[in-house]
Protein backbone atom coordinates (compact mmCIF):
# COMPACT_ATOMS: atom_id res chain seq x y z
CA UNK A 1 0.00 0.00 0.00
CA UNK A 2 1.42 3.38 -0.98
CA UNK A 3 1.68 6.01 1.76
CA UNK A 4 -1.00 8.06 0.02
CA UNK A 5 -3.56 5.31 0.40
CA UNK A 6 -3.25 5.41 4.18
CA UNK A 7 -4.74 8.88 4.24
CA UNK A 8 -8.00 10.48 3.34
CA UNK A 9 -8.40 14.10 2.27
CA UNK A 10 -11.05 16.39 3.73
CA UNK A 11 -12.12 19.41 1.72
CA UNK A 12 -14.54 22.26 2.29
CA UNK A 13 -15.11 25.08 -0.19
CA UNK A 14 -15.97 28.72 0.26
CA UNK A 15 -17.37 30.06 -3.01
CA UNK A 16 -17.91 33.75 -3.70
CA UNK A 17 -20.41 34.61 -6.41
CA UNK A 18 -20.59 38.16 -7.68
CA UNK A 19 -24.24 38.97 -8.25
CA UNK A 20 -25.26 40.38 -11.60
CA UNK A 21 -27.54 43.09 -10.25
CA UNK A 22 -27.74 46.46 -12.02
CA UNK A 23 -26.59 48.39 -8.99
CA UNK A 24 -24.37 47.76 -5.97
CA UNK A 25 -25.54 46.28 -2.69
CA UNK A 26 -25.89 49.44 -0.57
CA UNK A 27 -25.94 52.34 -3.06
CA UNK A 28 -27.19 53.20 -6.55
CA UNK A 29 -23.81 52.97 -8.30
CA UNK A 30 -23.58 50.84 -11.43
CA UNK A 31 -22.41 47.28 -10.89
CA UNK A 32 -20.94 46.92 -14.38
CA UNK A 33 -17.66 45.06 -14.82
CA UNK A 34 -14.86 46.67 -16.82
CA UNK A 35 -15.78 50.36 -16.42
CA UNK A 36 -13.13 53.10 -16.28
CA UNK A 37 -11.30 52.63 -12.93
CA UNK A 38 -12.78 54.57 -10.01
CA UNK A 39 -15.76 55.80 -12.04
CA UNK A 40 -18.59 53.79 -10.44
CA UNK A 41 -18.34 55.29 -6.99
CA UNK A 42 -20.26 57.51 -4.59
CA UNK A 43 -19.96 58.66 -0.96
CA UNK A 44 -21.71 55.48 0.25
CA UNK A 45 -19.44 52.89 -1.37
CA UNK A 46 -16.40 55.03 -0.56
CA UNK A 47 -17.45 55.07 3.09
CA UNK A 48 -17.54 58.84 3.58
CA UNK A 49 -18.56 59.91 7.09
CA UNK A 50 -22.24 60.56 7.65
CA UNK A 51 -23.63 58.51 4.77
CA UNK A 52 -26.06 55.63 5.18
CA UNK A 53 -26.22 52.34 3.28
CA UNK A 54 -29.57 51.20 1.86
CA UNK A 55 -29.94 47.49 1.06
CA UNK A 56 -30.64 46.51 -2.57
CA UNK A 57 -33.72 44.27 -2.47
CA UNK A 58 -32.59 42.36 -5.56
CA UNK A 59 -29.60 41.04 -3.60
CA UNK A 60 -31.89 39.49 -0.99
CA UNK A 61 -34.04 38.01 -3.71
CA UNK A 62 -30.99 36.44 -5.38
CA UNK A 63 -29.80 35.08 -2.03
CA UNK A 64 -33.19 33.47 -1.45
CA UNK A 65 -33.07 31.95 -4.94
CA UNK A 66 -29.67 30.41 -4.23
CA UNK A 67 -30.77 29.25 -0.79
CA UNK A 68 -33.84 27.48 -2.17
CA UNK A 69 -31.83 25.96 -5.02
CA UNK A 70 -29.41 24.46 -2.49
CA UNK A 71 -32.16 23.25 -0.15
CA UNK A 72 -31.33 25.72 2.62
CA UNK A 73 -33.69 27.08 5.18
CA UNK A 74 -34.17 30.81 4.74
CA UNK A 75 -33.60 32.89 7.84
CA UNK A 76 -36.60 35.13 8.45
CA UNK A 77 -34.61 37.72 10.35
CA UNK A 78 -31.02 37.99 9.25
CA UNK A 79 -28.41 40.51 10.36
CA UNK A 80 -25.60 42.45 8.66
CA UNK A 81 -22.31 42.68 10.53
CA UNK A 82 -19.14 44.68 10.10
CA UNK A 83 -15.96 42.75 9.46
CA UNK A 84 -13.15 45.09 10.39
CA UNK A 85 -9.76 45.07 8.73
CA UNK A 86 -7.39 47.49 7.14
CA UNK A 87 -6.42 47.29 3.51
CA UNK A 88 -5.83 49.98 0.88
CA UNK A 89 -8.67 48.66 -1.32
CA UNK A 90 -11.16 48.93 1.54
CA UNK A 91 -11.75 52.65 2.09
CA UNK A 92 -14.35 52.14 4.86
CA UNK A 93 -12.00 50.07 7.01
CA UNK A 94 -14.65 47.40 7.29
CA UNK A 95 -16.63 45.12 5.00
CA UNK A 96 -20.36 44.72 5.50
CA UNK A 97 -21.04 41.00 5.68
CA UNK A 98 -23.18 38.59 7.67
CA UNK A 99 -21.84 36.66 10.60
CA UNK A 100 -24.18 35.21 13.18
CA UNK A 101 -27.48 35.25 11.29
CA UNK A 102 -26.79 34.52 7.62
CA UNK A 103 -29.70 34.60 5.18
CA UNK A 104 -29.50 30.85 4.34
CA UNK A 105 -28.37 27.81 6.33
CA UNK A 106 -28.40 24.00 6.53
CA UNK A 107 -28.65 23.15 2.83
CA UNK A 108 -27.04 20.66 0.50
CA UNK A 109 -26.12 19.96 -3.10
CA UNK A 110 -26.01 16.50 -4.66
CA UNK A 111 -23.11 15.67 -6.94
CA UNK A 112 -23.01 12.73 -9.32
CA UNK A 113 -20.04 10.41 -9.07
CA UNK A 114 -18.67 8.43 -12.00
CA UNK A 115 -20.15 5.09 -10.93
CA UNK A 116 -23.75 6.30 -11.22
CA UNK A 117 -24.14 6.98 -7.51
CA UNK A 118 -24.53 10.43 -6.05
CA UNK A 119 -23.17 12.13 -2.97
CA UNK A 120 -24.70 14.82 -0.80
CA UNK A 121 -22.48 17.78 0.09
CA UNK A 122 -23.68 19.96 2.97
CA UNK A 123 -24.07 23.70 2.45
CA UNK A 124 -23.36 25.19 5.86
CA UNK A 125 -24.46 28.71 5.08
CA UNK A 126 -24.91 31.35 2.41
CA UNK A 127 -24.46 34.96 3.33
CA UNK A 128 -24.70 38.33 1.61
CA UNK A 129 -21.78 40.73 1.67
CA UNK A 130 -20.10 43.52 -0.23
CA UNK A 131 -16.90 43.07 -2.18
CA UNK A 132 -13.78 45.17 -1.58
CA UNK A 133 -11.93 47.15 -4.27
CA UNK A 134 -9.03 45.83 -6.27
CA UNK A 135 -5.32 46.50 -5.78
CA UNK A 136 -3.31 46.25 -8.96
CA UNK A 137 0.25 45.27 -8.12
CA UNK A 138 1.69 44.72 -11.57
CA UNK A 139 2.18 48.39 -12.46
CA UNK A 140 5.93 48.63 -11.94
CA UNK A 141 6.92 49.88 -8.50
CA UNK A 142 3.52 51.29 -7.74
CA UNK A 143 0.33 49.71 -6.53
CA UNK A 144 -2.83 51.08 -8.09
CA UNK A 145 -6.21 50.93 -6.42
CA UNK A 146 -9.51 50.63 -8.31
CA UNK A 147 -12.47 51.00 -5.99
CA UNK A 148 -15.18 50.31 -8.59
CA UNK A 149 -15.67 46.88 -7.06
CA UNK A 150 -16.33 48.27 -3.56
CA UNK A 151 -19.93 47.49 -2.78
CA UNK A 152 -20.38 44.86 -5.48
CA UNK A 153 -22.87 42.34 -4.07
CA UNK A 154 -21.55 38.89 -3.27
CA UNK A 155 -22.97 35.65 -2.00
CA UNK A 156 -20.56 33.55 -0.01
CA UNK A 157 -21.53 29.90 -0.18
CA UNK A 158 -19.79 27.83 2.50
CA UNK A 159 -19.78 24.05 2.31
CA UNK A 160 -19.36 21.44 5.02
CA UNK A 161 -16.01 19.63 4.93
CA UNK A 162 -17.73 16.79 3.06
CA UNK A 163 -15.55 16.31 0.01
CA UNK A 164 -12.88 13.60 -0.06
CA UNK A 165 -11.00 14.25 -3.30
CA UNK A 166 -10.09 17.00 -5.72
CA UNK A 167 -12.56 15.45 -8.15
CA UNK A 168 -15.46 15.65 -5.70
CA UNK A 169 -14.54 19.25 -4.92
CA UNK A 170 -14.49 20.09 -8.59
CA UNK A 171 -17.88 18.42 -9.15
CA UNK A 172 -19.39 20.34 -6.27
CA UNK A 173 -17.95 23.60 -7.60
CA UNK A 174 -19.35 22.86 -11.06
CA UNK A 175 -22.74 22.23 -9.52
CA UNK A 176 -22.62 25.61 -7.72
CA UNK A 177 -21.46 27.29 -10.93
CA UNK A 178 -24.28 25.69 -12.93
CA UNK A 179 -26.82 26.63 -10.31
CA UNK A 180 -25.91 30.34 -10.15
CA UNK A 181 -26.00 30.47 -13.94
CA UNK A 182 -29.36 28.67 -14.20
CA UNK A 183 -30.73 31.05 -11.59
CA UNK A 184 -29.43 34.04 -13.58
CA UNK A 185 -27.84 35.57 -10.48
CA UNK A 186 -24.15 35.45 -11.49
CA UNK A 187 -22.41 35.12 -14.86
CA UNK A 188 -20.08 32.45 -13.44
CA UNK A 189 -16.98 33.81 -15.17
CA UNK A 190 -14.06 32.43 -13.14
CA UNK A 191 -11.38 34.13 -15.19
CA UNK A 192 -12.85 37.55 -14.54
CA UNK A 193 -13.39 36.63 -10.91
CA UNK A 194 -17.19 36.67 -10.85
CA UNK A 195 -17.00 33.22 -9.29
CA UNK A 196 -14.12 32.61 -6.88
CA UNK A 197 -13.34 29.56 -4.84
CA UNK A 198 -11.22 29.14 -1.70
CA UNK A 199 -10.46 25.54 -0.89
CA UNK A 200 -9.85 24.33 2.67
CA UNK A 201 -7.85 21.12 2.71
CA UNK A 202 -6.73 18.76 5.45
CA UNK A 203 -5.74 15.11 5.59
CA UNK A 204 -6.12 12.39 8.19
CA UNK A 205 -5.45 8.68 8.49
CA UNK A 206 -8.32 6.61 7.12
CA UNK A 207 -10.65 5.63 9.92
CA UNK A 208 -9.80 8.72 11.96
CA UNK A 209 -12.86 10.82 12.77
CA UNK A 210 -11.19 13.97 14.08
CA UNK A 211 -10.43 16.63 11.48
CA UNK A 212 -6.81 17.43 10.72
CA UNK A 213 -5.38 20.95 10.61
CA UNK A 214 -6.45 22.67 7.42
CA UNK A 215 -4.71 24.94 4.98
CA UNK A 216 -6.66 27.34 2.80
CA UNK A 217 -5.92 27.63 -0.91
CA UNK A 218 -6.73 30.81 -2.81
CA UNK A 219 -6.19 32.30 -6.24
CA UNK A 220 -7.41 29.51 -8.51
CA UNK A 221 -9.23 30.99 -11.48
CA UNK A 222 -10.50 27.91 -13.28
CA UNK A 223 -12.03 24.53 -12.42
CA UNK A 224 -8.85 22.88 -13.59
CA UNK A 225 -6.71 25.01 -11.28
CA UNK A 226 -8.97 24.29 -8.32
CA UNK A 227 -8.49 20.58 -8.94
CA UNK A 228 -4.75 20.86 -9.44
CA UNK A 229 -4.25 23.05 -6.38
CA UNK A 230 -6.17 20.61 -4.17
CA UNK A 231 -4.23 17.61 -5.52
CA UNK A 232 -0.99 19.45 -4.91
CA UNK A 233 -1.98 20.35 -1.36
CA UNK A 234 -3.14 16.85 -0.40
CA UNK A 235 0.20 15.43 -1.50
CA UNK A 236 2.16 18.18 0.25
CA UNK A 237 0.39 17.55 3.55
CA UNK A 238 0.81 13.76 3.39
CA UNK A 239 4.51 14.06 2.51
CA UNK A 240 4.97 16.51 5.37
CA UNK A 241 3.30 14.24 7.91
CA UNK A 242 5.16 11.17 6.66
CA UNK A 243 8.43 13.05 7.18
CA UNK A 244 7.47 13.65 10.78
CA UNK A 245 6.27 17.22 10.32
CA UNK A 246 2.91 18.79 11.09
CA UNK A 247 0.53 20.82 8.97
CA UNK A 248 0.14 24.39 10.15
CA UNK A 249 -2.99 26.43 9.57
CA UNK A 250 -2.17 28.94 6.87
CA UNK A 251 -3.30 30.47 3.61
CA UNK A 252 -1.56 29.40 0.42
CA UNK A 253 -1.72 31.13 -2.94
CA UNK A 254 -1.91 28.92 -6.00
CA UNK A 255 0.64 29.75 -8.68
CA UNK A 256 -0.72 28.34 -11.93
CA UNK A 257 2.51 28.98 -13.87
CA UNK A 258 4.72 27.07 -11.45
CA UNK A 259 2.07 24.53 -10.37
CA UNK A 260 2.74 25.13 -6.70
CA UNK A 261 0.97 26.75 -3.76
CA UNK A 262 3.09 29.18 -1.74
CA UNK A 263 2.24 30.57 1.70
CA UNK A 264 0.98 34.13 1.95
CA UNK A 265 3.13 36.36 4.11
CA UNK A 266 2.00 35.62 7.64
CA UNK A 267 1.39 39.30 8.45
CA UNK A 268 -1.41 39.39 5.89
CA UNK A 269 -3.04 36.58 7.77
CA UNK A 270 -3.26 37.83 11.31
CA UNK A 271 -7.03 38.27 11.49
CA UNK A 272 -9.13 39.64 14.26
CA UNK A 273 -12.14 40.98 12.48
CA UNK A 274 -14.01 42.21 15.56
CA UNK A 275 -17.35 41.41 13.97
CA UNK A 276 -20.30 43.35 15.33
CA UNK A 277 -23.82 44.05 14.05
CA UNK A 278 -23.86 47.01 11.67
CA UNK A 279 -25.72 49.81 13.48
CA UNK A 280 -26.58 51.50 10.15
CA UNK A 281 -28.62 48.60 8.80
CA UNK A 282 -31.86 47.18 10.11
CA UNK A 283 -32.37 43.39 10.21
CA UNK A 284 -33.50 41.84 6.93
CA UNK A 285 -36.99 40.45 7.35
CA UNK A 286 -38.06 37.81 4.85
CA UNK A 287 -41.64 36.63 5.13
CA UNK A 288 -43.19 33.37 3.92
CA UNK A 289 -44.99 35.04 1.02
CA UNK A 290 -41.76 36.39 -0.37
CA UNK A 291 -40.05 32.99 -0.12
CA UNK A 292 -43.05 31.31 -1.76
CA UNK A 293 -43.08 33.75 -4.65
CA UNK A 294 -39.35 33.32 -5.28
CA UNK A 295 -39.81 29.54 -5.16
CA UNK A 296 -42.63 29.71 -7.68
CA UNK A 297 -40.39 31.47 -10.18
CA UNK A 298 -37.34 29.22 -9.83
CA UNK A 299 -36.28 27.68 -13.14
CA UNK A 300 -35.93 23.93 -13.47
CA UNK A 301 -32.51 23.24 -11.94
CA UNK A 302 -29.74 21.25 -13.63
CA UNK A 303 -30.06 18.07 -11.54
CA UNK A 304 -33.82 17.87 -12.14
CA UNK A 305 -33.51 18.71 -15.80
CA UNK A 306 -30.86 16.03 -16.23
CA UNK A 307 -33.19 13.44 -14.70
CA UNK A 308 -36.03 14.56 -16.93
CA UNK A 309 -33.86 14.35 -20.05
CA UNK A 310 -32.95 10.77 -19.13
CA UNK A 311 -36.51 9.73 -18.36
CA UNK A 312 -38.59 11.68 -20.87
CA UNK A 313 -36.20 11.52 -23.82
CA UNK A 314 -34.50 8.21 -22.95
CA UNK A 315 -31.10 9.84 -23.31
CA UNK A 316 -27.96 8.21 -21.91
CA UNK A 317 -26.80 9.96 -18.70
CA UNK A 318 -23.74 11.22 -20.54
CA UNK A 319 -25.89 13.03 -23.13
CA UNK A 320 -28.11 14.48 -20.42
CA UNK A 321 -25.10 15.78 -18.58
CA UNK A 322 -23.53 17.44 -21.61
CA UNK A 323 -26.82 18.96 -22.77
CA UNK A 324 -27.73 20.45 -19.38
CA UNK A 325 -24.32 21.96 -18.70
CA UNK A 326 -25.73 25.32 -19.58
CA UNK A 327 -29.34 26.34 -19.39
CA UNK A 328 -29.19 27.95 -22.83
CA UNK A 329 -27.84 24.76 -24.38
CA UNK A 330 -30.56 22.67 -22.73
CA UNK A 331 -33.11 25.19 -24.04
CA UNK A 332 -31.63 24.94 -27.53
CA UNK A 333 -31.89 21.16 -27.44
CA UNK A 334 -35.49 21.19 -26.22
CA UNK A 335 -36.55 23.79 -28.79
CA UNK A 336 -35.03 21.59 -31.47
CA UNK A 337 -37.17 18.68 -30.28
CA UNK A 338 -40.25 20.87 -30.57
CA UNK A 339 -39.64 21.21 -34.30
CA UNK A 340 -39.57 17.50 -35.05
CA UNK A 341 -42.24 16.29 -37.47
CA UNK A 342 -44.93 13.92 -36.29
CA UNK A 343 -43.46 10.64 -37.50
CA UNK A 344 -39.99 11.77 -36.45
CA UNK A 345 -40.99 13.07 -33.06
CA UNK A 346 -39.14 10.54 -30.95
CA UNK A 347 -35.78 11.03 -32.57
CA UNK A 348 -34.39 12.50 -29.36
CA UNK A 349 -31.10 10.67 -29.42
CA UNK A 350 -30.54 11.63 -33.04
CA UNK A 351 -31.00 15.32 -32.24
CA UNK A 352 -28.80 14.90 -29.18
CA UNK A 353 -26.02 13.50 -31.38
CA UNK A 354 -26.21 16.48 -33.71
CA UNK A 355 -26.16 18.96 -30.85
CA UNK A 356 -23.35 17.22 -28.96
CA UNK A 357 -21.08 16.76 -31.96
CA UNK A 358 -21.75 19.20 -34.80
CA UNK A 359 -23.30 22.07 -32.87
CA UNK A 360 -20.96 21.97 -29.87
CA UNK A 361 -17.88 21.55 -32.03
CA UNK A 362 -18.60 24.84 -33.78
CA UNK A 363 -19.64 26.53 -30.52
CA UNK A 364 -16.33 25.52 -28.91
CA UNK A 365 -14.08 26.13 -31.90
CA UNK A 366 -15.51 29.56 -32.64
CA UNK A 367 -16.08 30.40 -28.94
CA UNK A 368 -19.72 31.21 -29.70
CA UNK A 369 -22.55 31.46 -27.25
CA UNK A 370 -25.30 28.97 -28.08
CA UNK A 371 -27.79 31.85 -28.06
CA UNK A 372 -25.91 33.37 -31.02
CA UNK A 373 -25.60 30.09 -32.88
CA UNK A 374 -26.29 30.67 -36.60
CA UNK A 375 -28.38 27.50 -36.97
CA UNK A 376 -31.62 28.05 -35.07
CA UNK A 377 -33.32 25.14 -33.28
CA UNK A 378 -36.10 25.25 -35.91
CA UNK A 379 -33.57 24.92 -38.71
CA UNK A 380 -31.75 22.08 -36.96
CA UNK A 381 -34.98 20.13 -36.54
CA UNK A 382 -35.92 20.96 -40.14
CA UNK A 383 -32.72 19.30 -41.24
CA UNK A 384 -33.28 16.28 -38.98
CA UNK A 385 -36.78 15.94 -40.43
CA UNK A 386 -35.32 16.01 -43.94
CA UNK A 387 -33.00 13.13 -43.02
CA UNK A 388 -35.79 11.18 -41.35
CA UNK A 389 -38.20 11.45 -44.26
CA UNK A 390 -35.47 10.45 -46.72
CA UNK A 391 -35.19 13.83 -48.51
CA UNK A 392 -31.46 13.93 -47.83
CA UNK A 393 -28.92 11.39 -46.64
CA UNK A 394 -27.01 11.77 -43.38
CA UNK A 395 -23.92 12.46 -45.43
CA UNK A 396 -25.51 15.27 -47.44
CA UNK A 397 -26.90 16.64 -44.15
CA UNK A 398 -23.34 17.51 -43.14
CA UNK A 399 -23.11 19.75 -46.22
CA UNK A 400 -26.51 21.28 -45.51
CA UNK A 401 -25.43 21.97 -41.93
CA UNK A 402 -22.21 23.67 -43.09
CA UNK A 403 -24.26 25.82 -45.48
CA UNK A 404 -26.79 26.72 -42.76
CA UNK A 405 -23.87 27.93 -40.62
CA UNK A 406 -22.77 30.22 -43.43
CA UNK A 407 -26.09 31.54 -44.72
CA UNK A 408 -28.56 31.00 -41.85
CA UNK A 409 -31.04 29.77 -44.46
CA UNK A 410 -33.75 27.18 -43.85
CA UNK A 411 -32.45 23.69 -44.72
CA UNK A 412 -35.24 23.23 -47.29
CA UNK A 413 -34.08 26.37 -49.12
CA UNK A 414 -30.53 25.05 -49.25
CA UNK A 415 -31.60 21.56 -50.34
CA UNK A 416 -33.61 23.04 -53.23
CA UNK A 417 -31.10 25.69 -54.22
CA UNK A 418 -28.22 23.24 -54.36
CA UNK A 419 -30.23 20.32 -55.73
CA UNK A 420 -29.36 18.05 -52.83
CA UNK A 421 -32.54 15.99 -52.75
CA UNK A 422 -31.70 12.37 -52.20
CA UNK A 423 -32.42 10.01 -55.08
CA UNK A 424 -34.45 7.02 -53.92
CA UNK A 425 -35.98 6.08 -57.25
CA UNK A 426 -35.07 2.41 -57.83
CA UNK A 427 -35.04 2.73 -61.62
CA UNK A 428 -32.45 5.54 -61.57
CA UNK A 429 -30.29 3.81 -58.98
CA UNK A 430 -30.48 0.47 -60.76
CA UNK A 431 -29.12 2.04 -63.95
CA UNK A 432 -26.09 3.44 -62.09
CA UNK A 433 -25.48 0.12 -60.33
CA UNK A 434 -25.56 -1.82 -63.59
CA UNK A 435 -22.93 0.40 -65.17
CA UNK A 436 -20.73 0.16 -62.04
CA UNK A 437 -21.00 -3.62 -61.89
CA UNK A 438 -20.03 -3.94 -65.55
CA UNK A 439 -16.70 -2.28 -64.72
CA UNK A 440 -15.74 -4.61 -61.88
CA UNK A 441 -16.20 -8.26 -62.90
CA UNK A 442 -13.22 -9.37 -60.77
CA UNK A 443 -14.58 -7.76 -57.64
CA UNK A 444 -17.95 -9.37 -58.30
CA UNK A 445 -16.49 -12.85 -58.38
CA UNK A 446 -14.37 -12.15 -55.28
CA UNK A 447 -17.50 -10.97 -53.51
CA UNK A 448 -19.40 -14.04 -54.57
CA UNK A 449 -16.40 -16.07 -53.43
CA UNK A 450 -16.93 -14.87 -49.88
CA UNK A 451 -15.26 -11.43 -49.58
CA UNK A 452 -18.33 -9.85 -48.02
CA UNK A 453 -16.56 -6.64 -47.15
CA UNK A 454 -16.46 -5.72 -50.84
CA UNK A 455 -20.08 -4.64 -50.42
CA UNK A 456 -18.73 -1.40 -48.97
CA UNK A 457 -16.67 -0.88 -52.08
CA UNK A 458 -19.69 -1.25 -54.41
CA UNK A 459 -21.80 1.07 -52.27
CA UNK A 460 -18.98 3.62 -52.26
CA UNK A 461 -18.55 3.49 -56.04
CA UNK A 462 -22.28 3.93 -56.61
CA UNK A 463 -22.38 6.85 -54.17
CA UNK A 464 -19.43 8.43 -55.94
CA UNK A 465 -21.10 8.49 -59.37
CA UNK A 466 -24.32 9.71 -57.75
CA UNK A 467 -22.42 12.55 -56.04
CA UNK A 468 -23.52 11.40 -52.60
CA UNK A 469 -27.19 11.83 -53.43
CA UNK A 470 -28.18 8.17 -53.75
CA UNK A 471 -30.30 6.75 -50.97
CA UNK A 472 -27.85 4.42 -49.19
CA UNK A 473 -30.60 2.08 -48.04
CA UNK A 474 -31.96 1.58 -51.57
CA UNK A 475 -28.43 1.21 -53.00
CA UNK A 476 -27.68 -1.47 -50.46
CA UNK A 477 -30.84 -3.42 -51.10
CA UNK A 478 -30.40 -3.35 -54.86
CA UNK A 479 -26.74 -4.37 -54.66
CA UNK A 480 -27.52 -7.29 -52.37
CA UNK A 481 -30.17 -8.47 -54.81
CA UNK A 482 -27.99 -8.10 -57.90
CA UNK A 483 -24.88 -9.65 -56.39
CA UNK A 484 -26.69 -12.75 -55.21
CA UNK A 485 -25.26 -15.07 -57.85
- Residue 47 C-beta: closest distance to Zn ion, Å: 10
**Which residue from 160, 328, 345, 430 is in contact with ligand ADP, where contact means CB under 6 A?**
160
CA atoms within 13 A on the CB side of 409: 14
Under the binding rule (CB under 6 A), the answer on residue 107 touching ligand ADP is: no
Q: Which of 113, 136, 211, 248 binds ligand ADP (CB under 6 A)?
A: 211
- The partner in contact with residue 186, picked from Zn ion, ligand ADP, none with C-beta cut-offs of 5 to 8 angstroms by kind, is none
**Which member of 107, 151, 153, 161 binds ligand ADP (CB under 6 A)?**
161
- DSSP H or E stretch at residue 120: strand 118-130
Q: Which does 52 bind (CB under 5 to 8 A by kind): Zn ion, ligand ADP, none?
A: none
Q: Kindly state whether residue 200 participates in binding ligand ADP, applying the rule CB under 6 A.
A: yes
Binding mask 276-305 toward Zn ion (x if CB under 5 A, else -) reads ------------------------------
> Quick check: 228 binds ligand ADP (CB under 6 A)?
no
Nearest residue to ligand ADP on Cβ basis: 12
Cβ-based nearer residue to Zn ion, 27 or 230 = 27
By C-beta, is 91 or 299 nearer to Zn ion? 91
For residue 182, give the H/E element and its range: helix 166-183
User: Which residue lies nearer to ligand ADP by CB, 12 or 470?
Assistant: 12
Q: Cβ–Cβ contacts within 10 Å for residue 168, how many?
A: 18
Distance, in Å, from the CA atom of 291 to the CA atom of 314, rounded to the nearest integer, reads 34
Cβ contacts of 446 within 8 Å, gap of 6 or more: 454
Q: Which of 143, 97, 105, 149 is nearest to 126 (CA)?
A: 105
* Distance in angstroms (rounded) separating the CA atoms of residues 394 and 471: 10
Residue 29 contact among Zn ion, ligand ADP, none, beta carbon within 5 to 8 Å by kind: Zn ion
Considering only 10, 27, 147, 475, the residue that binds Zn ion (CB under 5 A) is 27
Instruction: Write the interaction track for ligand ADP spanning residues 245-274; mark x where CB under 6 A is met and - where it is not.
Output: ------------------------------
Which of 241, 474 has the CB closer to ligand ADP?
241
Closest CA to 192 of 366, 20, 369: 20
Q: Please choose which of ligand ADP, Zn ion, none residue 214 contacts, taking the beta carbon within 5 to 8 angstroms, the exact cut-off set by kind.
A: ligand ADP
Under the binding rule (CB under 5 A), the answer on residue 51 touching Zn ion is no
Q: 441: exposed, middle or buried (C-beta count within 10 Å: 0-12, 13-18, 19+)? A: exposed
Q: Comparing C-alpha atoms, which of 76, 159, 79 is closest to residue 119? A: 159
45 touches Zn ion by CB under 5 A: yes
55 is a contact residue toward Zn ion (CB under 5 A): no
29 binds Zn ion, rule: CB under 5 A: yes
State the DSSP H helix or E strand holding residue 382, giving kind and residue range, or none if neither. Answer: helix 377-388
Taking the least distance from each CB to ligand ADP, the nearer of 78 and 200 is 200
Element (H, E) at 448: helix 441-448
Binding of residue 11 to Zn ion (CB under 5 A): no
Residues 322-361 that bind Zn ion (CB under 5 A): none
Q: Smaller CB distance to Zn ion: residue 29 or 380?
A: 29
CB of 28 vs Zn ion, minimal distance in Å = 7
Among 40, 75, 105, 202, binds ligand ADP (CB under 6 A): 202
Interface region with ligand ADP, contact rule CB under 6 A, candidates 48-56, 128-136, 159-167, 301-309? 159-167
**Considering the rule CB under 6 A, would residue 149 count as an interface residue with ligand ADP?**
no
* Residue 72 touches ligand ADP, criterion: CB under 6 A: no
CB of 130 to Zn ion, least distance (A): 10
Contacts 24+ apart (CB under 8 A), 94-98: 95/129, 95/130, 95/132, 96/25, 96/26, 96/53, 96/129, 96/130, 96/278, 96/281, 97/127, 97/128, 97/129, 97/130, 97/156, 97/275, 98/127, 98/128, 98/129
Interface with ligand ADP includes 214 (CB under 6 A)?
A: yes
Asked if 42 touches Zn ion (CB under 5 A), the answer is: yes
Contact 247, 212 (CB under 8 A): yes
Residues that bind ligand ADP (rule: CB under 6 A) add up to a total of 15
Quick check: 70 binds ligand ADP (CB under 6 A)?
no
Query: How many angstroms separate the CA atoms of 444 and 454, rounded?
Result: 8
Q: Check: CB of residue 374 under 8 Å from CB of residue 366.
A: no
> Could you give the 3-state DSSP secondary structure of residue 361?
helix
Of residues 125, 179, 181, 131, the one with CA closest to residue 153: 131
Of residues 74, 68, 62, 65, the one with CA closest to residue 102: 74
Choose between 161 and 302: whose C-beta lies nearer to ligand ADP: 161
Q: Write the secondary structure of 38-74 as one string of H (helix), E (strand) and C (coil).
A: CCCCCCCCCCCCCCCCCCCHHHHHHHHHHHHHCCCEE
The residue among 161, 162, 164, 173 whose CA lies nearest residue 231 is 164
- Residues in contact with ligand ADP by CB under 6 A are 10-14, 158-161, 200-202, 211-212, 214
- The residues binding Zn ion (CB under 5 A) are 27, 29, 42, 44-45
Amino acid sequence: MSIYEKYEAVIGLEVHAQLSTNTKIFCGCSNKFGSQPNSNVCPVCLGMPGVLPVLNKQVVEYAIRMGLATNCSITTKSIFARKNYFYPDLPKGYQISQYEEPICQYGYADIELGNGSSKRIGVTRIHMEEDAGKSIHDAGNETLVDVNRCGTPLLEIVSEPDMRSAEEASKYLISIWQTVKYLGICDGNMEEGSLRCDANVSVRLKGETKLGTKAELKNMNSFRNVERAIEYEIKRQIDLIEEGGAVIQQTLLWNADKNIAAPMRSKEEAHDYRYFPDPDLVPVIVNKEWIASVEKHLPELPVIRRKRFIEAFKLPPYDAEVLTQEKELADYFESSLNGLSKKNEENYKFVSNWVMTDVLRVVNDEKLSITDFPVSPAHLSGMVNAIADGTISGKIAKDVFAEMLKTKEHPQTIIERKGLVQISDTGTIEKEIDSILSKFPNEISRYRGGEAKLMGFFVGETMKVMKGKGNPKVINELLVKKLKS
